[in-house]
Structures are given as structure tokens and as C-alpha cells.
A = this chain, B = another copy of it.
Amino acid sequence: MGTFTPSNRQYEQHLREAFARQTIMTTIGARLAGVAPGNVEIELDFREDLTQHHGYLHAGVVTTILDSACGFAAFTLMPPESGVLTVEYKVNFVAPARGAKFLASGRVVRPGRTLTVCNGEVSAIDGEETRLVALMQATMFRLQGP
């Protein structure tokens, strides 16, 4: 984190434009909370209409912000004119997703010409208290061309 040098000097602008096109982010109320080379954070407030049957945030919603955080983290290190697609991911849920707010952070573990491997985590935040909720290990694919 912080040890990567992006090859796309406008990576942050391109990332913010791509984030704005992810309509699901608006639908669930997620927003970009941090952007750095190889590292992206996304924030989400708890909402009653995003839950599973026990009233916690649904695992799929937790995964949605994790996937975007990891995918965009990979994107920060890609050359200009690249697109990013998710190849696959694995998520472990280590505590119920309850809390006032959730922070997903994705970071690049190993960037590659075609495939980039990322780790991500989501924490629940209640005032001062922060609790790990989920862990992701993901593979992202670089699409070439505009």
C-alpha cells in the first residue's frame, strides 16, 4: 500500500468516472471514501432495505462493496485505456454485518499484465467501535482497449 506507482497518471479521474457509472452504488447508497495507488475504500450506511432475514446487511451487499473496492484497487494500477472485470472471488463472513456504517477496503497484493490479485475486507463501524465483518480474496482481469 503506497508502494505502487500507477502507470495511468489520470487513474483517479478515470476511477471516479467508472464508479459514477456503477448505478448499483447509487442504488444502495455507497460512496468512494479513499483512492490511492493499489488501494480503494468504499463506505456504506446501514439501511433497512438492504438486509437479510435476521436484519443484518445481506452478504451479497457486503460483497458488492468489497468487489468494487477490490476491482477499482486493481484498476488504479492498470495502463490508460484499460477496463476491469471480476474473474472470481472468495469471501469469508466472520461476524454478522450489523452496524451503523460499513467500510470496504480493497488492496492489490500482486498486480499483473492480465490478472491482478487483491485482498479486501469490510468492517462495521459503530461510533468508536470497529469490527471485522468479511474478508475477500479476488482475481481481477484487465480488458485492453478503450
Residue ranges of A at the interface with B (Cβ–Cβ < 8 Å): 18-19, 21-24, 26-27, 48-55, 58-61, 63-68, 83, 85-96, 109-110, 112, 114-115, 117, 119, 132, 135, 137, 139, 141
Contact = CB atoms under 8 A, between A and B. Distances in A.
Complex copy number for this chain: 4
Q: Kindly list the 4 A-B residue pairs having the minimum CB-CB distance in the complex, ordered from nearest.
A: A60-B64, A90-B90, A18-B53, A21-B53
A58 B50 contact: no
B49 A58 contact: no
A12 to B, nearest CB: 15
Nearest to A138: B92
A24 B58 contact: yes
Contact of A58 (B67, B93, B95): B67
30 contacts: A21-B51, A21-B52, A22-B52, A23-B51, A24-B61, A27-B50, A54-B85, A58-B67, A58-B68, A59-B67, A60-B63, A60-B64, A60-B68, A61-B64, A85-B96, A87-B87, A87-B92, A88-B88, A88-B92, A89-B91, A90-B137, A92-B117, A94-B110, A94-B112, A95-B110, A109-B135, A110-B132, A115-B141, A135-B137, A137-B137
A51 B24 contact: yes
A93 B67 CA distance: 12
A18 B51 CA distance: 11
Given A18-B53, A114-B114, 10 more contacts: A22-B51, A52-B68, A58-B67, A59-B86, A64-B64, A85-B93, A86-B93, A94-B112, A115-B141, A135-B137
